Amino acid sequence: MNTTGRTYSLIVSCSSFYGRHECLQFALFVGCYVLLDYGYFKIPVDQFVNVIYYHGVVAVCADLINWLAPLEHVLAKQNHLLSAKADLEIVRGCDGAGVLFLVMSAILVFPSGLKRKLLGLLLGIGLIYSLNLLRISALYFVIAYQPDWFQLIHTYVAPTLMVVLGCFYFACWAFGSTNQSHELA
C-alpha cells in the first residue's frame, strides 16, 4: 500500500474512534489538511503549468468562455487565458486547492460510513472544481472589462464565496450523514 493509501486508512480508522472527542477530531482535520497541502506543494511547478493547469483548468475555461462569448477568441496557453483584451495567468493557489482540501479534510474526519464519505468526496471535489472553473472564467471577464475590480474580486470576494459554498456543501452533507445514522438507530 502506498503512503497516500496508508494515510487515508489511518485517517478513516482514527475518525471512527474519536467519538465525542472534539479535540481529536480537530487535530485529525488539521493533520489531514496539512498532509493534503504538503502533497500539493510537492508537485513540481512545470507539472502544474504544462499538464494540470493547462488540461484541467485553462483549456476548459477557454472553451467555456468561447462558448459563452464567441467573440472573445480566448486561447489557452500553458497556464494563461489569452485574448486581445486580457492575459489571465493561473498560478498555484488560484486553483481552488485550499477550499478543496478544507472540504476533503472535513469529510474524511467526520463520523460517517465509508460509502457516504466516498460519495461526499466525489460530489465535493466535483462541486469545488466546477465552482473554480466558473470563478476563473468570471475573473477573465473582470480583468478584460473591469480591471479596476480585479484585485477586490480575486483577493476577497471570490475566495470568500468559494469557502462559504464549500462550508455550505459540507454542512448539507454532514446533516444528511447524521440524519441517516439517527434513522438507523
pLDDT tens-place string over residues 66-87: 999 999 999 999 999 999 999 9
Question: Is the pLDDT reported for residue 180 higher than 60?
Answer: no
Question: Distance between the two ends of the chain, CA-based, in angstroms?
Answer: 35
Mean pLDDT of 57-69: 96
Q: What angle do CA 78, 83, 88 make, to 5 degrees?
A: 55
What pLDDT, on the 0 to 100 scale, is given for residue 13?
54
Classified as helix, coil or strand, 22 is: helix
Q: Structure pTM?
A: 0.82
- Closest C-alpha to 109, from 9, 19, 15, 8: 15
What pLDDT, on the 0 to 100 scale, is given for residue 106?
96
Contact between 118 and 103 under an 8 Å Cβ cutoff? The reply is no
All 3 cell numbers of residue 126? 466535483
Could you report the per-residue pLDDT of 1-32, keeping only the tens digit for each?
Answer: 555 555 555 555 555 554 557 888 899 999 99
